[in-house]
Amino acid sequence: MSRKHVGLGIDIGGSGIKGAPVDLDKGRLADDRLRIPTPQPSTPEAVAEVVGQILDHFGWKEPFGCTFPAVVQHGVTQTAANVDKSWIGADAHHVIKAVTGRKALVVNDADAAGVAEVEFGAAKGHKGTVLVSTLGTGIGSALVIGGRLVPNTEFGHLEIDGADAETRAADSAREREELSWEDWGARLTRYFQHIENLVWPDLIVVGGGVSKKFSRWSPYVSTRTELVPAELLNEAGIIGAAMLAHE
């Protein structure tokens, strides 16, 4: 495989930082991924040190892609979910390059996963408006229109019925409140119907760990838009980050 058709993606999360080379032609990992626990406290410099360890492990000297659980505007992390608050307002591109010596493209984690699902996963070949929604501790979102990403949509923070949507409809809310699949499905119906009336997607792809249990809860969700489970699962962020950096 030509090196020019291989990228490298790193997925930064609150508990772990994982990365791997990616076959950009096939949209799959080109080597076993390496996972290192997220340092505590997860300050920008400490996280960048771990990113450097992953790059060194794979002997990677070129630019790479990196996901982050935050709104990322022009390389600046404007928010911080499940990581140290010192990331808010940090120039992530500068910090990571200063520590690792390599150029990074830092993007929102849900955006990276969404791009990967549209190019290689559940929405492969779809030319319309695709909403990718990740249901986990919170609700991440990616909106891809005609193959082009609309970054940092943050639909998980829409106010619905007087509450932040993810506080009622995320998978963590289901677990916290011990909701049945049917009751949780009703909340997801309210959430997805609200988004349908805002952006009118042609397809909704649902990611996050709960996508593996799609058949258990999806019968209780009513949408006019086709709803399908994500296919790339835990590798989506790594693949998407590598793709975006290569572009």
Residue 40 to residue 139: CA distance in whole angstroms: 24
The alpha helices in the chain, defined as continuous H runs, are 44-57, 92-100, 109-120, 165-169, 171-176, 181-199, 214-217, 236-246
Q: Are 118 and 242 in contact (CB under 8 A)?
A: no
pLDDT score, position 2: 47
pLDDT tens sequence for the chain (247 residues) = 445 699 999 999 999 999 999 999 999 999 999 999 999 999 999 999 999 999 999 999 999 999 999 999 999 999 998 899 999 999 999 999 999 999 999 999 999 999 999 999 999 999 999 999 999 999 999 999 999 999 999 999 999 999 999 999 999 999 999 999 999 999 999 999 999 999 999 999 999 999 999 999 999 999 999 999 999 989 999 999 999 999 8
Domain with CATH 3.30.420.40 in the chain: 3-108+235-246, 122-231
pLDDT score, position 199: 97
Q: Are 10 and 47 in contact (CB under 8 A)?
A: no
pLDDT score, position 72: 98
Gyration radius (Cα) of the chain, Å: 18
For residue 41, whether the previous peptide bond is cis, meaning omega lies within 30 degrees of 0, is: yes
pLDDT score, position 4: 65
Q: Say what the alpha-carbon torsion angle 196, 70, 113, 91 is, to the nearest 10 degrees.
A: 130
CATH code of domain 3-108+235-246 = 3.30.420.40
Residue 232 has φ and ψ, to the nearest 5°, of -85, -15
Could you tell me which residues come within 8 angstroms of residue 183 by beta carbon, excluding any fewer than 6 positions away? none
pLDDT score, position 247: 84
pTM: 0.94
Residue 176 to residue 162: CA distance in whole angstroms: 19
State the fold for domain 122-231. Answer: Nucleotidyltransferase; domain 5 (3.30.420)
